[in-house]
């Protein structure tokens, strides 16, 4: 592939644009999870009393559809991120998503988060970082 | 227990859908890389099927989170870091590097911890 001669100002702009996409991806993807969780909390737990089919039909509502649209936008923003940033950089940073979901689950949904769960999340993040070391090597 | 079944089904379906999308791209390339562009790509059966399966997976995910805490369910998504490389290695003969293998093991451990939390 033919690449343009290195131009510091241009690559800086590219990097900052990529960061902006990545930040937007994080915010939108996490917001999608919160909207979907809130939407499902309003419907109650699936399979606990009531008609299953009626429940499934009630899932087609503006809040669920809005949450799914946010989720899809998050995917598009991720693809845009990858046009500007190296996967080896974007991939580990994207694990911030897990942390944001934890904080939101705690603050917004009053979930009781045990130490084992926090530790589990830390271990998972470590695993993702190990996987991305594979990219740093190259 | 049933919640876990919904949760894991959703995650397995996402992994399968990713492999289908990859297969779709491979098939299209075989037909001639630039043939048809984006719209034709969308209607490539593997791609179309993969996207549809992604929709089904979203349905399972929604049912799972109606029953589970988000801080419990969400970390399970990292299972995709395991399932997709395993599938890619089996179906597309992609290489799993040593780092990736170690990372997969560590992620497994973390998910097991979350499962019991």
In this structure, how many other beta carbons lie within 10 angstroms of the beta carbon of residue A78?
18
Option in B58, B70, B81 nearest A37 (CB): B70
Residues A127, B106 contacting (CB under 8 angstroms): yes
Higher pLDDT, B94 or B52: B52
Residues B116, A116 contacting (CB under 8 angstroms): yes
Q: What is the reported pLDDT for A2?
A: 52
Structure confidence at residue A29 as a pLDDT band (50, 70, 90) = very high
Residues A118, B93 contacting (CB under 8 angstroms): no
Cα distances from A127 to residues A22, A44, A52, in angstroms, run 21, 34, 38
Beta strands in B1-100 (DSSP E): none
Is it the case that residue B106 has pLDDT exceeding 90? yes
Average pLDDT over residues B30-42: 72
Is it the case that residue B5 has pLDDT exceeding 60? yes
Percent pLDDT > 90 in chain B is: 56
Q: What is the reported pLDDT for A3?
A: 56
Is it the case that residue B57 has pLDDT exceeding 80? yes
Identify the residue among A111, A131, A134 best suited for mutation to test binding to B, counting B beta carbons within 10 A and taking the highest.
A131
Cα distances from A23 to residues A30, A45, A94, B52, in angstroms, run 11, 32, 9, 28
Q: What is the reported pLDDT for B100?
A: 86
Q: What is the reported pLDDT for B20?
A: 94
Q: What is the reported pLDDT for B25?
A: 85
Cβ under 8 Å to B: A residues 101-130:
101-102, 104-106, 109, 111, 113-114, 116-117, 119-130
Q: What is the pTM of this model?
A: 0.86
Instruction: Give B-chain residues touching A40 at CB under 8 angstroms.
Output: 62-63, 65-66
Tokens 């805490």: give the residue: B69
**ipTM value of the model?**
0.83
Please tell me whether residue A126 adopts helix, strand or coil conformation: helix
Query: In this structure, is the dihedral angle defined by the CA atoms of residues B105, A123, B76 and A78, taken in order, positive or negative?
Result: negative
């Amino acid at each position: 592939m033919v690449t343009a001669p290195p131009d510091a100002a241009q690559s800086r702009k590219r990097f900052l644009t990529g960061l902006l996409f990545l930040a937007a991806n994080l915010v939108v993807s996490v917001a999608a999870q919160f909207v979907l969780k809130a939407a499902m909390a309003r419907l109650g737990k699936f399979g606990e009393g009531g008609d299953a089919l009626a429940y499934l039909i009630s899932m087609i509502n503006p809040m669920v559809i809005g949450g799914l649209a946010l989720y899809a936008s998050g995917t598009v923003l991720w693809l845009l991120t990858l046009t500007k940033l190296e996967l080896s950089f974007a991939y580990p940073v994207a694990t911030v998503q897990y942390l944001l979901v934890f904080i939101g689950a705690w603050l917004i949904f009053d979930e009781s988060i045990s130490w084992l769960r926090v530790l589990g999340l830390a271990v998972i993040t470590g695993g993702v970082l190990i996987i991305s070391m594979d990219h740093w090597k190259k | 227990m049933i919640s876990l079944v919904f949760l894991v089904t959703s995650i397995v379906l996402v992994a399968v859908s990713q492999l289908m999308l990859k297969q779709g791209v491979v098939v299209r390339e075989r037909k001639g890389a630039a043939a048809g562009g984006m719209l034709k790509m969308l209607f490539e059966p593997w791609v179309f099927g993969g996207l549809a399966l992604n929709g089904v997976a979203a349905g399972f995910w929604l049912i799972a989170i109606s029953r589970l805490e988000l801080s419990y369910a969400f970390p399970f998504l990292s299972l995709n870091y395991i399932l997709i490389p395993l599938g890619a290695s089996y179906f597309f003969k992609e290489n799993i590097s040593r780092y990736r293998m170690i990372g997969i093991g560590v992620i497994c451990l973390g998910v097991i911890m979350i499962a019991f939390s």
